[in-house]
Amino acid sequence: MAARQHLSRYQQGIVKRYYEHQDTILTNRLSELVSELYLAEGAAQATRLWSRARQALAKAGVEPRRIEPIVEARDVTALARLVNELAGGRK
């Protein structure tokens, strides 16, 4: 995308709403990842999902000291609790 690209008023509104609701979007993405991890079949699929979960948590502003123990242990229940905590704080 060009550095000085001009957006129409309609496009500016879309971009503005995206950033206003980014926390909700990330929380929903993490909730979906928890579901996918519960249903994951195979180590390769689970590894990719845990990588995506790590990235989404970091993007959501969760401290690395809270992310790493959950991801390293591959504890889906702890991840679900953390996502629930994030969702509760976004009301």
- Phi (first) and psi of residue 12, to 5 degrees: -60, -40
Residue 90 has pLDDT above 50, yes or no: yes
**pLDDT more than 90, % of the chain:** 78
* Cβ atoms of residues 27 and 14 within 8 Å: no
What is the domain partition of the chain in residue ranges?
9-88
Confidence of residue 91 (pLDDT cuts 50, 70, 90): very low
Q: Name the residue among 73, 76, 55 with its Cα closest to residue 64.
A: 55
Predicted local confidence at residue 5, as pLDDT: 75
Is the pTM value of this prediction over 0.85?
Answer: no
pLDDT tens, residue by residue, 54-79: 999 999 999 999 999 999 999 999 99
